[in-house]
Copies of this chain bind each other. A is one copy, B any other.
Amino acid sequence: MSAAHSEGAFLSDIREQPAALERLLETLPEMKAAVRTIARQAPRAVRLVAHGSSANAATFGVYAFGMLPGWTAMRDSISLSVYYEAELDFNDSLVLGLSQSGYTPDVVAYVERARSLGALTVGLTNDPESPLASAAEIALTLSAGVERSLAATATYTNELALLALLAGYAAGRGDAVVASLRTVAELASEAMSALEKAARPAATAFVDIERMYVMGRGSEFATACEIALKLTETCKVVSGPLTTSELQHGPVVAVGPKLPVWAVASSDAVLPSVFQAAERIRHAGGALLVGGDAADTVEGAELSLRTPAAPMPLLAPLLSVLPGQLFACGLAEAKGIDIDRDSELTKVTFAL
């Protein structure tokens, strides 16, 4: 709303993401040895552990490893190992612990335990001096720069990029992923201003909204989770992320004028499920807001924010998250909420 808001920390962080991605790609020569060690491992299981935005990036990792090298990857339970001390077999496991700060206590504890039980452990963090970087056998730095806002942005998108790089090298396609990521950085940079002009003012129409669903499927479920988290933490909107299928298994009954739905729509094999769910939402009288490279193909959308197509479909989530971040930013402005001024949250979360 005010000039102070429009130059807020969250907005400047969102705009910074293409540059942060380019910064990550510049560190590739230093990372190559570590990446080769990981790529050689051919693990029986890739176990990703994280909380918050990093957990949403971990969700993307399941798809990156599944689609590129064909490795079985999972978001593993931290509780099972750290608190319940289950006796799992960590031999031939690759463990990826993700934490923007590198201080998340139980992610560090999980990595320490997994390492002592024989896993190859990798820490992905923005702070190479953090406990997570020390605990893991291999530390990879996100190079996202300093985020000014509490809400994660470039640390999230650089986590996606780093996971795609690891999966790409593991599949012998690292160079193709690098080239595609360079293009993604350019496309994001070019599209940013137009997306911002469309998304932020559109958000003002939803100023009274307190609840939203955010739906996505496949690799875009990570995007749905991340947009939902942004809406919750920056706008105090309760916004459950749902797969397009889950939405139809019950939650669709709540959709209506007071419950709009954000849909992530990218051109991939699960797009028909987005169309099917969108039809149900229109029928229920819920406003439909769509972002992604196939946004214009979803009928009846009240707001359609088309992003450029990524040169490799797997990388679409690096672009489709942008309209959601910008919409959340505009909605926070419209609601007069400045999370970085008003909340007691801290950038480092020491939650149990």
A116 within 8 A of B: no
Q: List 8 A-B contacts (CB under 8 A).
A: A66-B88, A83-B269, A84-B268, A247-B351, A248-B349, A249-B349, A270-B352, A272-B352
Q: Is A67 an interface residue (CB 8 A)?
A: yes
Contact call B249/A51, Cβ cutoff below 8 A: yes
Provide the bound-state CA to CA distance between A221 and B86, in Å.
17
Give the distance to chain B from A63, nearest Cβ to Cβ, in Å: 6
Task: State the CA gap A63–B83 with chains docked (Å).
Answer: 12
Check B244–A352 contact: CB distance below 8 A.
yes
On chain A, which size bracket covers the interface? 35 or more
A349: B residues at CB distance < 8 A:
248-249
Question: A residues 211-261 with Cβ under 8 Å of B?
Answer: 211, 213, 217-219, 221, 228-229, 232-233, 236-241, 243-254, 258-259
Of A1-9, A70-78, A134-142, which binds chain B?
A: A70-78
Whole-angstrom distance between the alpha carbons of A234 and B86 in the complex? Answer: 36
Contact between B270 and A254 (Cβ–Cβ < 8 Å)? no
B351:A273 contact, CB within 8 angstroms: yes
Residue of B nearest to A246 (CB): B51
**A-B interface, 7 closest residue pairs, ranked by CB to CB distance from nearest:** A52-B249, A233-B250, A248-B351, A74-B74, A273-B352, A79-B218, A236-B254
Q: Nearest chain B CB to A231's CB is how many angstroms away?
A: 9
Chain B residues positioned under 8 Å from A213 (CB to CB): 238
With A83-B218, A249-B52, A351-B277 as contacts: A62 and B45 at CB distance below 8 Å: no
Query: Which residues of B are found within 8 Å of A272, using beta-carbon distances?
Result: 352
Tell me whether B270 and A251 are in contact (CB under 8 A): no
**Residues from chain B with Cβ under 8 Å of A236 in the complex:** 253-254
Q: Which residues of chain B come closer than 8 Å to A78, judged between CB atoms?
A: 245
List the B side residues contacting A249 at CB < 8 Å.
51-53, 349, 351
Contact between chains at A106 and B245 (CB < 8 Å): yes
A238 vs chain B, min Cβ distance (A): 4
Contact status of A351 and B245, CB under 8 A, knowing A88-B70, A250-B151, A253-B345? yes
